Structure 1
Amino acid sequence: MFQPNMFESHHHLLDHMSHHHKTPEDSDHQLDMLRDEEFESKSGGTDILENPSGDDEQDPNQRPNKKKRYHRHTQHQIQEMESFFKECPHPDDKQRKELGRRLSLEPLQVKFWFQNKRTQMKAQHERHENTQLRNENEKLRADNVRYKEALTNATCPNCGGPAAIGEMSFDEQHLRIENARLREEIDKISGIAAKYVGKPMQTMLSSSFPHAPSRSLDLGVGSFGPQSGISVPDMFGAGDLLRSVAGPSEADKPLIIELAVAAMEELIRMAQAGEPLWIPSTDIGIECLSEDEYLRNFPRGIGPKPMGLKSEASRESAVVIMNHINLVEILMDVNQWSTVFSGIVSRAMTIDVLSTGVAGNYNGALQVMTAEFQVPSPLVPTRENYFVRYCKQHDNGIWAVADVSLDNLRPSSISRCRRRPSGCLIQELPNGYSKVTWVEHVEVDDRAVHDIYRSLVNSGLAFGAKRWVTTLDRQCERLASAMANNIPAGDVGVITTPEGRKSMLKLAERMVLSFCTGVGASTAHTWTTLSGSGADDVRVMTRKSIDDPGRPPGIVLSAATSFWLPVPPKRVFDFLRDENSRSEWDILSNGGLVQEMAHIANGRDPGNCVSLLRVNSANSSQSNMLILQESCADSTGSYVIYAPVDIVAMNVVLSGGDPDYVALLPSGFAILPDGPGQNVGGILEVGSGGSLLTVAFQILVDSVPTAKLSLGSVATVNSLIKCTVERIKSAVVCDPNV
């Protein structure tokens, strides 16, 4: 009756970049004595130099001064080897022997022919690249001269005289920015060309603005000074300004660039400042921003706070087990970012890429994005932002990623939340660790937040920097666990094979992502909210699944509700994740004995793990059921997420098979503290240390996608979720030992 499901397929964090290595065979047999002209002169490469100098395979009986012998292959032999080369330019010993047998050649002759062919192809490729680089360099030189002349002849629009840089029009300032970018590009291309031709090309760097002052642009969106070292040309890598697919107009892009640079400057200052700008809060355990000091330090910013919005600002730091480059890649890749922070980022999209950064990394990358941020509860409205994200590498191994809203570029829209300069500084530490300092600063209309969540939201624990940093820390531990190889095999149920661990963790990651996209208040996904479902405190949604191997086909219902418990969050988390207490609340287990068959630890906290549970049915006529479960907790919240899985499919996963074809239908719990308050006098009230528990189910009600949803199905789901809630309340509230 109840079958598994999933959300849309996604890029997972554990993918590794492949690296190209030069083969020992190529390095052992470099034919240094042959120039490119020799390859062309000898019948288009049809001659083969036998026993080349320096080769390990040289004939020991050959006299040192004996003239080298060339062997001319037949046309048939050449055609056959050319054809084989297209398919496999690096044949192994077995392939060389087989090819030599067919062509009546010695394996060594075949080997030398392929070596010569590879060297010839490499030389041709380098000549072609050099020609392209020279042409591009000449084009850049011409553009550079043109921009220089335009700036030299600039005139003041008022008096007609020569213009000072501060008096230049915006178009002329843009030309200056473009000129600086081209200078950097010429330098970069000259460096590449020098590697191939053996000497650097001449550039016009010495004649291009030798006395031009370095100056940041101040458009009233931040505070700049000569100490900042940030200027607009730093943003551009190799001129990778990509064509806009959708998003900002061409006229808006210079404004976005300047706004991003200003936001980066403000972020760095806010991340490094102390008191009185930041005020430590002993109750909440985070740093809060002094609005008065902020206005004194950043008087202009992105404009005054709109009516009806309130400020939320916080800062948090932590040392995480991940190197700084990988962290930057996660933040700049929208798929990885939304997966790692799936409990916070409900949905995200890159609208436009204004710069991809320098070759090989994200230094200078600039992206226009939209994202929706959530608390895992239908009682807290999501926050949607339209913003630019800018990544920059600074001195001393520090990277910074800054966000700032672009609402002013679409004045027709009314924003309920806008993002002042926010983001993080990432500092490289030894042994693959990084220090992350996160700043979160927004202005938001939170009047629609339900009363029981108001204390959590007001404290900054719901959307603030602490939640981002603790989530990142936990996910870094999860990744480190997935990559671990020294797993002891003594414990029963521990999955020790790297392939099995990776497949099971990937499946669990997809399960968590699917759960998070259906539990929040967003209705922008594939779900349709049902009106008149008969329960005001339960949100019921539906969707149809047809051709997705990760979802069972048919009509799926999702039901979610949130409520307050006068019990600390840790007690609720321990109760729900423990297989021994599962029969007290899980209606689907039907009173059967639940046993853990396998598990993967996900960090320091023993509660952070992925488990495979078996439900032994109390009725001997019913088959046993397998349940995949992930439990995770940190100081800002915890999750227990599970889904029934097929036994045959899980055997494939545990042996390292592809987990994408395992159908999942996740259900589970999100447990948040109800605020920063403490339990006083043994009596808990809302906001004084209890738990905010969200319960969510996804259930396949009909295996035919074209079927119509019946009211009876909705009533059944409502009854299931209410019964589960009552069982949990009865167990954790009435029994103090739970």
Structure 2
Amino acid sequence: MDYDGDGSPDNEHYTSVNAMSKEKRICHRHTPQQIQKLEAYFKECPHPNESQREAFCSVLDLGIDQVKFWFQNKRTQSKTQDERTSNILLREENKKLQLENAAMIEVLKTVTCPPCGGPPFGRDDRESNLHKMRLENAFLKTERDSLTTTKNKYQQTMLDSLTSVQRQQTFEALTSYGMNLYNQPSSLESQTIQPQLLPQMDLPQLSETAATAVEELKRLFRTDEALWVMSSIDGTYVIDQESYEKFSHSIKHFRNLSARVESSKDITVVPIEATSLIDMFLDSEKWKMLFPTIVNKAKTIHTLGSELPINENCNVLQVIWEQLHILSPLVPPREFMIVRCCQQIGEGLWIIADVSQDSQHIFNSDQASPSCYKRPSGCLIRSLPNAHTEVRWIEHVEVDHTADTHKMYRDLVSGSSGYGARRWIVTLERMCERMALSSILIMPATDWSETIPTVEGRRSVMKLGERMLKIFNEMLIMSGKVEFPQQSKCGVRISIRMNKEPGQLPGLVVTAASCLSIPLTPLQVFNCLRSKDTRHQWDVLCRGNTITETARIFTGSSGTNCITLLQPTPLWDIGQNMVQEPQKKMMVLQECYMDALGGMIVYSPLDMATMSIAAAGEVDPLNIPILPSGFTISSDNSEGTLLMLAFQILNSDENSKTRSVSEIAVDRVSRLISQTVQNIKLMLNCPPE
């Protein structure tokens, strides 16, 4: 049989092969139910990790590549839509500007001279005036450059006239300033905070911002159905962003794909008067004391009263700068310039709303673009009988520094247990219990002590423990330039600072921190580290000997929240003669807590004489120098634990400011923390990496 043209056997073969290849390229079309669930996941987590993608596959009955490619395509589509929307808005804005420009040109054609009411300047006159102003501007620039040159020459002459000793002192001062490698001040704190008086024209803007935030927060508290949905990832309630954008008409402040929105809410009842709690919220120093493990720094820039035109129930309006930080040096701090408004909205009912405010209007400086923006957030405070208070909390922020967080802590920080409402609520519960126990006038039956004889001494030790915890948390930022790469490659982060803070040991302080993952629950790790029976296995202060507990002060209803005084067992030589000199006798002050999100163990060695003075309540605890070290313990969102340990060593040598001594101190503290990590792994029977 003859075949011609398209009917040849060869062509039939190729057609069949092409058809088969086309069939292989047919894409699997997702069902509407699968697409709906994928859309819901995408709103909460645009960048799922491997474990989350596997969980989605099991729920949706899809392959891992199908889920992966769907999210990639969805991110690209979302970015394109955002860019298209942005372009439309920019074009509309451009049209408006063009219309305004044309209108101003028309007005200029008929403008009159104000002094005489005569006709406007002609084009030639205007060009002549512009030429004169340009010449004057050039002359002023020349004068400025001449003055700058003269000033620099004068400064150089003054420096050359310094003696060699003075030059050495100047060099050492500059060196000590530059040695703060990780504890560099933030973009705002690096400058002396010099707020300007708010112009009268800014007051209505602040008023409008606060009023809008209060009304939005009221609606978020009252609405439980349309705006709040249960997260499919961790089961907590989050704000549905589509519904939120419809009623708030807010805009996204960050367009990067790495940016995300965090939202959460929680509720609790705490043993404190509502008015006392509000007073602590509106005082920046008390605010830091109330949340010592979250609020690293805070400063009230402006406080304005009820004369502002918000409404009659406005009690206080404040502008506040705050720096927040938690958990580990691997987690970047968050900085906000916020407007805080407190209003009484009912009998025994108050609302406190926070919303981000542009710092450019408040400070005489050019600030870097912020990486965090706080949408209307805050709490609803209701007075209850028996000196108790109900607190409802909402956190709603945009964040654009996901990449700055180490992958070890990224999932933890992104969830509600990071900077979310749950973190604020559990901290508030713990601190209110602590304040209630510190204010009692008799020694509680649960406490016991061989070294704290009075209630005043107990209160003094509690204040010292509170300050120790706060100093430790402030030290954890350790952000900045890595100066010692050999340690960083080993998983140890190093910070060097010249310590001049009151109440801390003065001199050059070397700090080292390391983080590790442990396949045990946080409570198991917490109990092993604070046990006095196993402490000698990891704590260098014990020198391999057992340790004795001489006092215990409970700081909460849980048995895990307490302050303890520990005394290492004296060292003995072979002939049973004590070799520990009296001046070397020391005690260890330790505070620890455990809550629903993790815990801390912070401790500091003190000589026995200083500890005795503190336990007797004879001196202000703020005047006792202390240099804490310790651990933070966090859940890794599974059955394991993220453990962060940080040690501080004081280098008080007279040449401690030189680089050579700093390297010795760095090497010493790096070896110390590395050995401690190995000892802890051995004690907890951790498998080798």
Band of TM-score, shorter chain: 0.5 to 0.7
- Aligned residue among 558, 580, 592 for 1:622: 580
- The residue matched to 1:592 in structure 2 has which SS? coil
Residues 490/666 of structure 1: CA separation in 2 closer, same or farther (3 Å cut): closer
Q: Which residue of 2 is the match for residue 312 of structure 1?
A: 262
| TM-score, normalised with respect to structure 2 | 0.65
Q: Does the alignment pair 1:389 with 2:340?
A: yes
Residue aligning to 1:544: 498
Instruction: State the 1:617 CA deviation.
Output: 2.9
2:461 is the alignment partner of 1:504? yes
Which amino acid is 2:676 matched to? T
Provide closer, same or farther for how the CA distance between residues 246 and 596 of structure 1 changes in structure 2, counting only shifts above 3 A. farther
- Paired with 1:508 and 1:327, the residues of 2 have a C-alpha distance of 22
- For 1:724, the equivalent position in structure 2 comes to 676
Equivalent residues in 2 for 1:223-238 (5 A)? none
Superposed counterparts of 1:463-612, under 5 Å: 463-488=419-444, 492-493=448-449, 495=452, 497-522=454-479, 530-532=483-485, 534-536=487-489, 537-545=491-499, 550-612=503-565
Letter of the aligned partner of 2:409 in structure 1? Answer: Y
Offset, 1:384: 1.2
Report SS of the residue matched to 1:583. Answer: helix
Change (3 A) 1:363 1:625: farther
1:296 matched to 2:246? The reply is yes
Kept in 2: contact 1:346–1:374 (CA 8 A): yes
Give the TM-score normalised by the residue count of structure 1: 0.60
Identify the match of residue 404 of structure 1 among 330, 351, 355: 355
Question: Kindly tell me: are residues 441 and 490 of structure 1, through their superposed partners in 2, closer, same or farther at Cα, counting changes over 3 Å?
Answer: closer
Residue of structure 2 aligned with 1:653, choices 614, 624, 632: 614
Q: Note the C-alpha offset of 1:612.
A: 0.7
Q: Which of 711, 722, 729 is the aligned partner of 2:663?
A: 711
Deviations 1:474-509 (A, max 9, x none): 000001111123434586427573211110111111
- Structure 2 residue 381 is the aligned partner of structure 1 residue 426: yes
Which amino acid is 1:668 matched to?
G
Aligned to 1:323: 273
Please say if residues 626 and 644 of structure 1, whose CA atoms lie closer than 8 Å, have aligned partners that are also in contact. yes
Q: How does 1:332-347 map to 2 (within 5 A)?
A: 332-347=282-297
Please give the alpha-carbon distance, in whole angstroms, between the structure 2 residues aligned to 1:637 and 1:248. 42
Deviations 1:121-166, CA, capped at 9 Å, x for gaps: xxxxxxxxxxxxxxxxxxxxxxxxxxxxxxxxxxxxxxxxxxxxxx
- Give secondary structure in 2 for the equivalent of 1:378: coil
Q: Is the 8 A contact 1:312 1:441 kept in 2?
A: yes
Runs of 4+ in structure 1 off by over 6 angstroms are: none
Give unmatched runs, 5+ long, in structure 2.
1-193, 573-577
- Indicate which of 625, 635, 638 corresponds to 2:596: 635
Change over 3 Å in CA distance of 1:529–1:502 after alignment to 2? farther
The reply on whether 1:262 has 2:212 as its aligned counterpart is yes
Count of aligned pairs between the two proteins: 470
1:447 match: 403
Distance 2:502 2:199 in 1: 39
SS at match of 1:346: strand
- Shift of the 415–629 alpha-carbon distance from structure 1 to 2, 3 Å rule, reads same
Measured against aligned partners, the alpha-carbon deviations of 1:206-263 in whole angstroms (never above 9, x if no partner) come to xxxxxxxxxxxxxxxxxxxxxxxxxxxxxxxxxxxxxx94375443232111101110
Maintained 8 Å contact 2:482/2:488: no
**Cα distance in 2, alignment partners of residues 509 and 704 from structure 1:** 31
The alpha carbon displacement at 1:602 in A equals 0.9
Which residue of the partner structure matches residue 87 of structure 1? Answer: none
Amino acid paired to 1:336: K
1:67-90: per-residue Cα shift (whole Å, max 9, x none)? Answer: xxxxxxxxxxxxxxxxxxxxxxxx
1:277 and 2:227 correspond: yes
Say whether the 8 Å CA contact 2:457–2:615 is kept in structure 1.
Answer: yes
- The CA distance in 1 between the partners of 2:293 and 2:514, in whole Å, is 16
Given the superposition, is the C-alpha separation of residues 273 and 256 from structure 1 closer, same or farther in structure 2, using an over 3 Å criterion? same
Residue 443 of structure 1 deviates from its aligned partner by 0.3
Deviation at 1:413, TM superposition (A): 4.2
Distance 1:271 1:477, change over 3 A: same
CA contact (8 A) 1:612 1:627 kept: yes
SS of residue matched to 1:610: strand
For residues 685 and 198 of structure 2, what CA distance do their matches in structure 1 show?
A: 53
- Preserved CA contact (<8 Å) 1:355 1:364: yes
